[in-house]
Copies of this chain bind each other. A is one copy, B any other.
Amino acid sequence: MGKKLAVVAFGGNALLRGDQKGTIEEQEANVYDTCKHLVNLIKKDYEIIIGHGNGPQVGNVLLQHEAGQKIYGIPKMPMDICVAETQGAIGLMIEQQLRNVLAKNGINKNIITIVTEVLVDKDDFAFKNPTKPVGPFYSREEADKLTHDNGWVFHEDPRGRGWRRVVASPKPMKVNNREIIERLAREGNIVITVGGGGIPAYMKTKDELVGIDAVIDKDLASAHLAGNIKADEFYILTDVPQVYVNFNKPDQKSLGQVKADEIKKYLDEGHFAEGSMAPKVRASLHFIKKGGKSCTITMADKLGNGQAGTTILKS
Given contact pairs A88-B84, A88-B88, A63 touches B74 in the complex (Cβ within 8 A): yes
Residues of B with C-beta under 8 A to A70 = 67, 71
Question: B88–A115 contact, CB under 8 A?
Answer: yes
Question: B77–A84 contact, CB under 8 A?
Answer: no
Residues of B with C-beta under 8 A to A173 = none
A207 to B208 CA separation, bound complex (whole angstroms): 45
A-side interface residues, number (CB < 8 Å): 59
Query: Smallest Cβ distance from A106 to chain B, in angstroms?
Result: 9
A226 to B110 CA separation, bound complex (whole angstroms): 20
The A contact surface, by secondary structure, is helix
Per-residue contact bits, chain A 97-135, to B (CB 8 Å; 1 contact, 0 not)? 001100110000011111101000000000000000000
Question: B209–A96 contact, CB under 8 A?
Answer: yes
Query: What is the oligomeric copy number?
Result: 2
A80 within 8 Å of B (CB atoms): yes
A92 within 8 Å of B (CB atoms): yes
Per-residue contact bits, chain A 197-239, to B (CB 8 Å; 1 contact, 0 not)? 0010100001111110000000000000000000000000000
Residues of B with C-beta under 8 A to A113 = 114-115
Question: B67–A112 contact, CB under 8 A?
Answer: no
Question: A92–B74 contact, CB under 8 A?
Answer: no
Could you list some 28 contacts between A and B, CB below 8 A?
Answer: A21-B75, A22-B74, A23-B75, A24-B75, A24-B77, A24-B81, A61-B85, A63-B68, A63-B71, A64-B64, A64-B65, A64-B68, A67-B67, A67-B72, A77-B89, A81-B93, A85-B85, A85-B88, A95-B117, A100-B207, A103-B206, A103-B208, A110-B180, A112-B114, A113-B114, A114-B114, A114-B115, A180-B189
| Complex A-B, nearest 6 residue pairs according to Cβ-Cβ distance, in ascending order | A88-B88, A64-B68, A67-B67, A113-B115, A84-B88, A84-B92
